[in-house]
């Protein structure tokens, strides 16, 4: 059986809890159980009661929104040590998005009541939570701005740069983004059709910014930035 580091170790490597002392982390570990999800399993649906905060020990989670016409918009992919479900403090107390395990995933789960108590007990944790929320808000605003500032090729180039930064593995051919993402998945992440993404990937391949356009996608990050500078994302 594969041995994992302790729960305290994982909590320490999570941005929200990195400033807590070992003793405080040990106390925290007693109220944060692990929970495992299979690939494709929904962690929570839109409009579910917001009753817990989640931290990724291993695996990957997709955050999406679904619309009345059945369309899905993928808001982001999260990996190890990322936190999600933080909007549980909104007055509505309902989930505004859906979380789904992309692969077999293990989460650290903190009940909402325990988290509220921790924020009161540890003021420095409340400040860190504000910083985490502010970072997420800034990232969301940056992605939203791309929709108005760039055409589909530019939005795709920016997305590939983010995925390469967050999940990429360097190789001789370039940066490997081994996320098993389909062209339809990429389309849902930039607000485009699969056909448009296919055309954009072909264009980026010809430019040299993409070395392989099917999963695992391989990109040249320098060329992606050059493409954005020269083309303006058109």
Q: Domains in the chain, please, with CATH?
A: 7-147 (2.60.120.10), 150-231 (1.10.10.10)
The secondary structure element, H or E, covering residue 42 is strand 42-44
Angle between helix 152-167 and 221-231 (nearest 10): 150
What tens digit of pLDDT does each residue of 39-80 get? Answer: 999 999 999 998 899 999 999 999 999 999 989 999 999 998
What is the token pair recorded at 186?
């990429």
Residue 1 confidence (pLDDT): 36
Sheet holding 61-66, edge to edge: 42-44, 98-101, 61-66, 72-78
Cα–Cα distance measured from residue 34 to residue 127, given in angstroms and rounded to the nearest whole number: 25
Q: Where are the alpha helices (DSSP H) in the chain?
A: 7-12, 22-29, 112-121, 123-149, 152-167, 183-190, 194-207, 221-231
Q: Indicate whether 128 pLDDT > 90.
A: no
Is 104 in contact with 36 (CB distance < 8 Å)? yes
Three-state SS at 38: coil
Is the pLDDT at 232 greater than 80? The verdict is no
| Alpha carbon distances (Å) from 188 to 78, 169, 185, 210, 221 | 16, 23, 5, 19, 22
pTM: 0.85
Report residue 136 as tokens.
């997420």
Answer for the pair 87, 95: CB distance below 8 angstroms, yes or no.
yes
Strand order in the sheet with 210-212: 169-170, 175-177, 217-219, 210-212
Neighbouring C-beta atoms of residue 108, cutoff 10 Å = 22
To the nearest whole percent, how much of the chain has pLDDT over 70?
Answer: 96
Q: What's the CA gap between 234 and 228, in Å, rounded? A: 8
Residue 162 has pLDDT above 90, yes or no: yes
With H, G, I as helix, E, B as strand and everything else as coil, classify residue 99: strand
**Tokens standing for residue 74:** 């993928």
Cβ neighbours of 128 (radius 10 Å) = 18
**Which pLDDT tens digit goes with each residue over 76-94?**
999 988 999 987 766 667 8
* Cis amide prior to 216 (ω within 30 degrees): yes
Question: What's the average model confidence in pLDDT over 104-122?
Answer: 89
């Amino acid at each position: 059986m594969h041995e994992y580091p302790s729960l305290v170790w994982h909590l320490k490597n999570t941005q929200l809890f990195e400033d807590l002392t070992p003793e405080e982390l040990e106390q925290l570990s007693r109220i944060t159980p692990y929970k495992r999800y299979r690939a494709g399993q929904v962690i929570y649906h839109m409009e579910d009661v917001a009753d817990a905060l989640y931290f990724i020990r291993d695996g990957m989670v997709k955050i999406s929104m679904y619309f009345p016409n059945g369309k899905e918009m993928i808001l982001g992919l999260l990996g190890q040590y990322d936190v999600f479900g933080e909007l549980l403090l909104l007055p509505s107390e309902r989930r505004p998005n859906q979380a789904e395990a992309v692969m077999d995933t293990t989460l650290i789960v903190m009940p909402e009541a325990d988290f509220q108590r921790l924020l009161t007990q540890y003021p420095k944790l409340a400040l860190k939570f504000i910083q985490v929320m502010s970072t997420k808000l800034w990232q969301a605003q940056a992605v939203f701005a791309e929709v108005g500032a760039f055409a589909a090729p530019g939005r795709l180039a920016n997305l590939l740069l983010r995925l390469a930064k967050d999940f990429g593995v360097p190789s001789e051919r370039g940066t490997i983004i081994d996320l098993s993402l389909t062209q339809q998945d990429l389309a849902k992440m930039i607000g485009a059709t699969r056909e448009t993404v296919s055309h954009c990937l072909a264009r980026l391949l010809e430019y040299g910014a993409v070395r392989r356009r099917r999963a695992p996608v391989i990109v040249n990050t320098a060329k992606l930035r050059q493409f954005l500078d020269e083309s303006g994302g058109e």
